[in-house]
């Protein structure tokens, strides 16, 4: 068992760790918003992944199978979303009132979600090339994260598994250095947007985040509960939609455990106060960490 220890201010011997990027993804698998500040709710950043595309069986549809979803840009306004995509007319979507619900499935979770007007479904069906629907999580208290890495009162929206994903600039630099030394150097360097984090921090040694267990960003405390095992979606350029072998090829050489490749950390807000905010430039305090010589926390096998 790695030794657990408390750290009061930042990381001893290193410059202050700080928050440098905040990303929100209004629709799962669609384009990001980059923010200067964001409210933190118990289930993640306000507005993050409250919408999702599902197929005719009401099962989640993602950019893993349909990369064209990455070309859809959703913008949150006061009453819903404004959607745009290459070669298609813009569309305004109102937040549904919850009177029309569908039972949807996202990975192992089955829960109710609200349906917007039918013209939205036709718009997304044209994007994807098959019949799909857009759904909205009107009550974010309906879904729980994996019980192995969470508490009974934790909640999550339509994110893959946990409320937020944290990545560090130093680990991306280390990964890009490995790519530059390998047989696919022409595919690098990769931008952070390949990994779709919510928060990006700077000022820690590469891979230090593997051992973090509790942190404070600004005034919000987070539990760092699990490493993120990466999938083929990281191999799609979010700007051009071109497919590559990186970063999975290089992660498989240097960051592979239990048959999976790992980059970034899943975090859960620890009882944020109403209106709690994150702001670019906020200090990051490492409150608790362990020695993690064999990589980040992950499911037992």
**Cα(200)–Cα(162) distance, rounded to whole angstroms?**
16
Position 292 scores a pLDDT of 73
Query: Do the domain assignments include residue 25?
Result: yes
Cβ pair 50, 136 in contact under 8 A: yes
**Cα(250)–Cα(114) distance, rounded to whole angstroms?**
40
CA distances from 220 to 61, 112, 140 (A): 32, 29, 19
Q: Please give the DSSP secondary-structure letter assigned to residue 33.
A: E
Query: Do the domain assignments include residue 143?
Result: yes
Query: Which domain, by its residues, includes 272?
Result: 4-290
Cβ pair 137, 52 in contact under 8 A: yes
Query: Do the domain assignments include residue 267?
Result: yes
User: Using one digit for the tens of pLDDT, what is the confidence trace for 101-160?
Assistant: 999 999 999 999 999 999 999 999 999 999 999 999 999 999 999 999 999 999 999 999
- Residues in the chain with pLDDT < 70? 1-15, 293-295, 297-301
**Cα(286)–Cα(11) distance, rounded to whole angstroms?**
7
Query: Do the domain assignments include residue 171?
Result: yes
**Cα(51)–Cα(75) distance, rounded to whole angstroms?**
12
Query: Do the domain assignments include residue 35?
Result: yes
Position 272 scores a pLDDT of 86
**Cα(155)–Cα(141) distance, rounded to whole angstroms?**
6
Position 11 scores a pLDDT of 47
First to last CA, the chain: 16
Structural domain tally of the chain? 1
Query: Do the domain assignments include residue 164?
Result: yes
> To the nearest whole percent, how much of the chain has pLDDT over 70?
92
CA distances from 178 to 124, 175, 208, 249, 252 (A): 38, 5, 17, 10, 11
């Amino acid at each position: 068992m790695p030794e657990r220890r408390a750290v009061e201010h930042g990381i001893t011997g290193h410059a202050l760790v700080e928050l440098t990027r905040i990303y929100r993804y209004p629709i799962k698998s669609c384009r990001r918003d980059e923010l200067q500040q964001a409210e933190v709710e118990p289930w993640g950043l306000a507005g993050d992944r409250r919408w999702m595309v599902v197929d005719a069986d009401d099962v989640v549809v993602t950019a893993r199978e349909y990369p064209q979803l990455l070309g859809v840009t959703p913008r949150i306004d006061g009453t819903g979303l404004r959607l745009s995509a290459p070669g298609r007319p813009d569309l305004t979507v109102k937040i549904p009132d919850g009177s029309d619900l569908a039972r949807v499935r996202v990975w192992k979770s089955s829960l109710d979600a609200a349906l917007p007007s039918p013209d939205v479904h036709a718009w997304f069906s044209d994007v994807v090339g098959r019949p799909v629907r857009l759904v909205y999580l009107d009550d974010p208290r309906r879904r729980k994260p994996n019980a192995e890495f969470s508490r009974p009162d934790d909640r999550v929206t339509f994110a893959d598994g946990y409320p937020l994903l944290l990545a560090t600039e130093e680990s991306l630099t280390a990964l890009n250095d490995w790519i530059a030394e390998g047989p696919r150097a022409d595919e690098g360097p990769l931008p952070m947007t390949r990994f779709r984090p919510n928060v990006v921090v700077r000022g820690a040694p590469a891979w230090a985040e593997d051992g973090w267990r509790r942190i404070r960003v600004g005034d919000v405390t987070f539990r760092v509960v699990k490493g993120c095992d990466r999938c083929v979606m990281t191999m799609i350029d979010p700007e051009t939609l071109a497919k590559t072998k990186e970063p999975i090829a290089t992660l498989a050489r240097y960051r592979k455990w239990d048959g999976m490749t790992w980059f970034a950390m899943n975090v859960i807000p620890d009882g944020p106060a109403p209106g709690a905010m994150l702001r670019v430039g906020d200090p990051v305090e490492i409150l608790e960490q362990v020695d993690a010589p064999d990589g980040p926390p992950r499911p037992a096998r």
